[in-house]
Amino acid sequence: MRRITVPVAGREYPLLIGSGILDTLGEQLREVGVRGTLALVQDSEVAEQYGRAALASLEQAGYRATPFVVPSGEGSKCLSQLGALYEGFAQAGLDRGSAVVALGGGVVGDLAGFAAASYLRGIDFVQAPTTLLAQVDASVGGKTGIDLPQGKNLVGAFHQPRLVLIDLDTLASLPDREYRAGLAEVIKYGVIADPEFFAYLESNREALESHQPETLAAVISRSCEIKAEVVGADERESGLRAILNYGHTVGHAVEAVAGYGTYLHGECVAVGMVAAGRLAHRLGLLDTEARERIERLIAAYGLPVQVREPLDMDALTAAMQLDKKTRDGVVRFVLAREIGRVEVRPIPEEEARQALQSVLPH
**In the predicted model, is pLDDT for residue 144 greater than 80?**
yes
> Which active-site residues does the annotation give?
121, 143, 185, 227, 237, 241, 245, 248, 252, 265
Over residues 268-282, mean pLDDT? 98
pTM of the complete model? 0.93
Amino acid at 213: P
d(CA 356, CA 274): 10
**Is the pLDDT assigned to residue 237 strictly greater than 90?**
no
First to last CA, the chain: 48
pLDDT at 10: 81
Distances (CA, A) of 2 to 89, 166, 217, 324: 33, 10, 8, 33
CA dist 72 → 41, 67, 75, 131 (Å): 12, 15, 8, 13
Q: Rounded mean pLDDT of 193-208?
A: 98
Instruction: Name the E strands within the chain.
Output: 2-8, 11-18, 38-43, 65-70, 99-104, 124-129, 143-148, 151-158, 163-167, 331-338, 341-347
pLDDT tens digits along 3-23: 999 998 888 999 999 999 999
311 SS3 class: coil
User: How far is CA 219 from each of CA 132, 216, 225, 274, rounded to the nearest angstrom?
Assistant: 10, 5, 10, 21
Query: For position 241, what pLDDT does the model report?
Result: 87
Structure confidence by residue, pLDDT tens digits, 153-181: 889 999 999 999 999 999 999 999 999 99
Of the pLDDT bands very low, low, confident and very high (cuts 50, 70, 90), residue 307 is very high
- Residue type for position 315: A
Residue 4: phi, psi to the nearest 5? -120, 135
CA distances from 202 to 29, 191, 199 (A): 37, 12, 5
